[in-house]
Amino acid sequence: MSVPLVVVNFKTYENAHGISAEKLALIMASIDTNTRLVAVVSAFDLASVVALAPNLEVWTQHLDPIQFGSNTGWLHPETAVERGAKGTLINHAEHKVSIEHIAMLLDQVPEDFTVCACAANIEEAQSLTALGPTFVAVEPPELIGGEVSVTSADPNIVTGTAKAVREISNEVGILCGAGIKNGSDVSMAIELGTSGVLLASGVTKSSNPLKALEELLSKI
């Protein structure tokens, strides 16, 4: 079995941007775990987080498939790589893009660069899998940021996504997210056929992120 993956999306939460992002990344880096633990940070925080926590795997939250030139406000993949990003999210429910955007991005990034494409449902997960990203993460939008885990509220979307992805590819990894808060949620996600989880508020909004992370990892 591959190493379970726990991806923490910092978003733009007050407790996870700027200096706070650096502090949270250092907490993540301090944890001794066999799990693949990933911090997904704002483009503004990428370089500083990588510099402060060089042993922590860091992704960026979004990239654009552009070339060098007149592209004001867009995020160039080569800059992210140069600043230390090992991967990116794309098509998150809070930052949707076209299927063409994702396909062009996959063609542009280095072969060893992780791309986690987010899907709202099984049908979107199938379309994304056909493009060949590293991971597809299914997150029902209505559960994102909520108190009930997708593994409890809608386990069928997790098993259905896992089945749909495997019908197309044995290479694309499968994650699930939305409402993931504790170790039971993570272990259930893996039991339902995923490689791990994508979460945010369970850590970023916690008054004790170290304790929250330890609890998330406790049953893997």
| pLDDT, tens digit (0-9, with 9 covering 90-100), for 10-21 | 999 999 999 999
Domains of the chain: 5-210 (3.20.20.70)
**Per-residue pLDDT, 144:** 84
* Nearest alpha-carbon partner for 26 in 60, 58, 4, 3: 58
Can you tell me the distance from the alpha carbon of 63 to that of 66, in angstroms, rounded to the nearest whole number?
9
**Per-residue pLDDT, 175:** 97
**Per-residue pLDDT, 155:** 93
Give the pLDDT confidence of 155-213 residue by residue, as tens digits: 999 999 999 999 999 999 999 999 898 999 999 999 999 999 999 999 999 999 999 99
Q: What are phi and psi of 188, to 5 degrees?
A: -65, -40
* Nearest alpha-carbon partner for 113 in 79, 155, 74: 79
**Per-residue pLDDT, 143:** 86
Mean pLDDT of the chain: 95
Can you tell me the distance from the alpha carbon of 144 to that of 104, in angstroms, rounded to the nearest whole number?
27
Of the two residues 2 and 78, the one the predictor is more confident about is 78
Q: What is the mean pLDDT of residues 55-64?
A: 98
**Per-residue pLDDT, 152:** 87
Tell me whether residue 209 is exposed, middle or buried, using C-beta atoms within 10 angstroms of its C-beta: 0 to 12, 13 to 18, 19 or more: buried
Q: State the catalytic residues.
A: 92, 139
Give the pLDDT confidence of 81-112 residue by residue, as tens digits: 999 999 999 999 999 999 999 999 999 999 99
Question: Tokens at residue 171, please?
Answer: 């290479």
Of the two residues 77 and 219, the one the predictor is more confident about is 77
